Amino acid sequence: MFGSFGNEFAEWITGIRPFSEDGPIDFSVPGSNAAYRIASVFANVGGFLFGALLLARFSANNLSAYFNFKTPLKWKYTWVVLICFVAAIPVVQLLSVINELIGGVNLEGIQDETSQQIKTALLNTTDFSVVLLNLFTMALLPAIGEELFFRGVVLRVSYQGTKNLHLGVLFSAILFAVIHFEFDHILAITFMGILLGYLYVYTGSILVPIALHFLNNGVFIVLEAYGRDSGVAHFFNDSAFGNIVLWTTLGLLSLAFFIFFLKRSINKERWPMMTGSLLRD
């Protein structure tokens, strides 16, 4: 519904319809970037942020308490986010190698060159104001909306339904990965969903996975804008098979770190409140 409304609103504002029966949007047409951005914001805010708040409203009178917004943030969580971000890089690269080796999942009509064209059109810029706009629309808004929905609601409801916290984290991560429709990276996205889920469990604050999610998206956007020709960019872009030994070694070491981290992440004191009924009276 919000996607359709955003499509109509984008056409009303720019004269260009981002999603139509005529095929994918032509980003060479002036105004196409703005049209697509408007439609995407509506879809993200409506589909995830509004959806999360609406579902939470059915379960609780106090949304702040439902999402644990008032959980005190500690300075150590900053280091937890940074360490997880750095340690996740080799795991993501390793899983990308595995995904490429198994060939991914080819779903005709769902995954094609359009997604790459979209990324190139929106991210291929060095204009600082546009980069800031990208950080807001493609990093901050998705981080808030998706974390409130997948970790704040889906993880919680899955935990209530299964009475198993690990299944709740896993189910929310799998749904998180599928919704992205990037099946050539589905293993890496699932892993990030699991990591974000356990971060929520460990800290008890939804703000922590939001911070990691934003950092992950934001670094990618900045590198696309200013680091395309840098050694860092080439290091990651050429890593699939050229550095397979390096990424396998680092990835396995990071996985060992995460297993240790997950064993310490179950904070039972913060989670009994989640075992209540799925819907409020």
Residue 106 has pLDDT above 60, yes or no: no
4 and 96 assigned to the same domain: no
- The residue behind tokens 């390096």 is 246
Residue 95 within any structural domain of the chain? yes
266 and 209 assigned to the same domain: yes
Give the pLDDT score at 140.
93
24 and 107 assigned to the same domain: no
Residue 159 has pLDDT above 60, yes or no: yes
131 and 259 assigned to the same domain: yes
pLDDT band for position 280 (cuts 50, 70, 90): very low
Q: What is the 3-state secondary structure (H, E, C) of the chain?
A: CHHHHHHHHHHHHHCCCCCECCECCCCCCCCHHHHHHHHHHHHHHHHHHHHHHHHHHHHCCCHHHHCCCCCCCCHHHHHHHHHHHHHHHHHHHHHHHHHHHHCCCCCCCCCCCHHHHHHHHHHCCCCHHHHHHHHHHHHHHHHHHHHHHHHHHHHHHHHHHHCCHHHHHHHHHHHHHHHCCCHHHHHHHHHHHHHHHHHHHHHCCCHHHHHHHHHHHHHHHHHHHHCCCCHHHHHHHCHHHHCHHHHHHHHHHHHHHHHHHHHCCCCHHHCHHHHCCCCCC
194 and 138 assigned to the same domain: yes
79 and 204 assigned to the same domain: yes
Domain count, the chain: 2
135 and 204 assigned to the same domain: yes
Choose the weakest-confidence range: 10-24, 111-125, 243-257: 111-125
Choose the weakest-confidence range: 19-23, 216-220, 232-236: 232-236
Percentage of the chain with pLDDT > 90? 17
Give the pLDDT score at 217.
93
Q: Which residues contact 278 (CB under 8 A, 6 or more apart)?
A: 59, 157, 160, 161
List pLDDT tens digits, range 79-105: 888 888 888 888 888 888 788 777 644
Choose the weakest-confidence range: 113-127, 148-162, 163-177, 205-219: 113-127
Q: Which pTM does this prediction carry?
A: 0.84
Domain boundaries, position 266: 72-275
95 and 176 assigned to the same domain: yes
Choose between 1 and 203: higher pLDDT.
Answer: 203
Distance of alpha carbon 188 from alpha carbon 96, whole angstroms: 6
Residue 110 has pLDDT above 70, yes or no: no
Residue 65 within any structural domain of the chain? no
Residue 19 has pLDDT above 80, yes or no: no
Distance of alpha carbon 210 from alpha carbon 48, whole angstroms: 13
